[in-house]
């Protein structure tokens, strides 16, 4: 199969969908790999390293998209890439369609089989292709929050871990999944007083045992969130419903009651965000103000640490990419129920239930019908 990797075009997105290791493995399986010139530079991977493993370097995005029967990306296509979408070409990338109607419509119109990293789901409920970027985003969130608490960045001038005789900053993490646990670990390591809220008691028990009760755990509810936010310095939202829009758990009214200069980091922004006033921002213009609080809602947070993120992501995606290339997307999805759950659109229709629920006026069907 011909597999292509275009350079990412989203604002300050420096990740790339393949490493030289990925190319080596795919070529070993008899496939052809085409990499857009410079696609790996943001992750410190020069074209020569791809060529050494058997990849062909193509000059531009048009050539990369044209070359591939399977296109691998990191972030969802943006408007300038919509004309490249085709029916005879599978797309394998993060999509987050439930929060992106224009892209959903473009994929339907092009009849593109689109497989989303974030909805590939194993029988045990794990999301293997979302997990590594949730780790990265979770670990970044307290670092970003600490930065915007600094006075030169418009914050109140609070050090996350405090010093002797001075209280620590209070960090509230909403959601105790992969991103939330990583956020709690880093914030706790930085010396903050950390509270994790979740409706899943098993996740809260895990938090209790993992940190020896050094991190507080509270069963989440609207009242609990409201209460904890009143004296919070940093709030990190990580709530995720696979394939669907994130629930809005922090209201404008709650933000109005928070300390002046407090910071809110919405890790769930790719799925629409879990704060009422969230809207996607970029690394070039990352923050905005709501009441007297700073919102950070960058939709590709892991792109800030592109080298780490690229290798973490491709470690997870490579086995699935090989399966798609070896078997074709239809057979690979028929053989692997986890990969099948990644299919979001195909044959001019939505096939993922979460996306279908978000856009109930667009055509939808089951994947079984498409594969049949």
User: What is the DSSP annotation of 252-285?
Assistant: HHHHHTSPTT-EEEEGGGGGT-SBTT---B-SSS
Picking from 313, 315, 304, 253, the residue whose alpha carbon sits closest to that of residue 282 is 304
Query: 212-232 as b/e, with b when 16 or more CB fall inside 10 Å?
Result: eeebbbeebeeebbeebbeeb
Is 96 one of the catalytic residues? yes
Q: Kind of pairing, strands 349-350 and 343-346?
A: antiparallel
Among 31, 96, 100, 233, the active-site one is: 96
**For residue 359, what are the CA distances in angstroms to 104, 188, 202, 353?**
9, 39, 32, 10
Whole-number Å distance between alpha carbons of 174 and 180: 7
Among 100, 193, 198, 270, the active-site one is: 270
Whole-number Å distance between alpha carbons of 199 and 16: 35
Is 349 in a helix, a strand, or coil? strand
From the number of C-beta atoms within 10 Å of its C-beta (0-12, 13-18, 19+), residue 259 rates as middle
Picking from 100, 38, 14, the residue whose alpha carbon sits closest to that of residue 283 is 14
Is 270 one of the catalytic residues? yes
Is 14 in a helix, a strand, or coil? coil
Is 64 in a helix, a strand, or coil? helix
Q: Which residue has the tokens 């915007």?
A: 148
8 Å CB contact between 265 and 144: yes
Whole-number Å distance between alpha carbons of 326 and 3: 11
Whole-number Å distance between alpha carbons of 309 and 294: 26
Put residue 228 in one of left, alpha, beta given phi > 0 → left and psi -120 to 50 → alpha. Answer: alpha
Hey, which residues are catalytic here?
Answer: 96, 270
């Amino acid at each position: 199969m011909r597999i292509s990797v275009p350079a990412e075009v989203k604002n300050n997105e420096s990740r790339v969908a393949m490493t030289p290791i990925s190319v080596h493995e795919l070529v070993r399986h008899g496939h052809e790999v085409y990499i857009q010139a410079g696609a790996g530079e943001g992750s410190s991977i020069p074209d020569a390293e791809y060529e050494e493993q058997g990849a062909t370097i193509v000059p531009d995005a048009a050539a990369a998209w044209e070359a591939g029967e399977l296109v691998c990306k990191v972030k969802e296509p943006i408007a300038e890439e919509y004309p490249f979408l085709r029916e005879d070409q599978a797309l394998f990338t993060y999509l987050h369609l439930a929060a992106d109607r224009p892209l959903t419509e473009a994929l339907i119109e092009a009849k593109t089989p689109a497989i989303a990293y974030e909805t590939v789901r194993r029988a045990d409920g794990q999301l293997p292709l979302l997990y590594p970027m949730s780790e990265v985003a979770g670990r970044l969130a307290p670092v970003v929050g600490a930065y915007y608490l600094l006075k030169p960045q418009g914050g109140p001038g609070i050090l996350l871990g405090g010093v002797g005789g001075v209280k620590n900053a209070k960090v509230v993490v909403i959601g105790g999944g992969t991103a939330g646990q990583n956020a709690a670990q880093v914030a706790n390591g930085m010396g903050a007083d950390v509270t994790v809220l979740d409706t899943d008691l098993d996740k809260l028990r895990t938090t209790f045992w993992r940190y020896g009760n050094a991190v507080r755990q509270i069963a989440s509810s609207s009242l609990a969130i409201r209460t904890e936010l009143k004296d919070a310095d940093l709030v990190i939202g990580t709530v995720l419903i696979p394939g669907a829009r994130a629930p809005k758990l922090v209201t404008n009214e709650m933000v109005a009651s928070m300390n002046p200069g407090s910071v809110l980091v919405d890790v769930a922004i790719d799925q629409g965000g879990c704060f009422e006033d969230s809207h996607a921002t970029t690394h070039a213009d990352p923050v905005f103000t709501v009441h007297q609080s700073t919102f950070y809602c960058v939709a590709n947070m892991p792109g800030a640490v592109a080298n780490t993120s690229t290798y973490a992501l491709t470690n997870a995606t490579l086995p699935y990419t090989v399966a798609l290339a070896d078997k074709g997307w239809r057979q690979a999805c028929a053989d692997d129920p986890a990969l099948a759950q990644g299919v979001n659109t195909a044959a001019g229709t939505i096939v993922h239930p979460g996306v279908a629920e978000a856009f109930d006026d667009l055509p939808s069907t089951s994947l079984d019908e498409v594969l049949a």
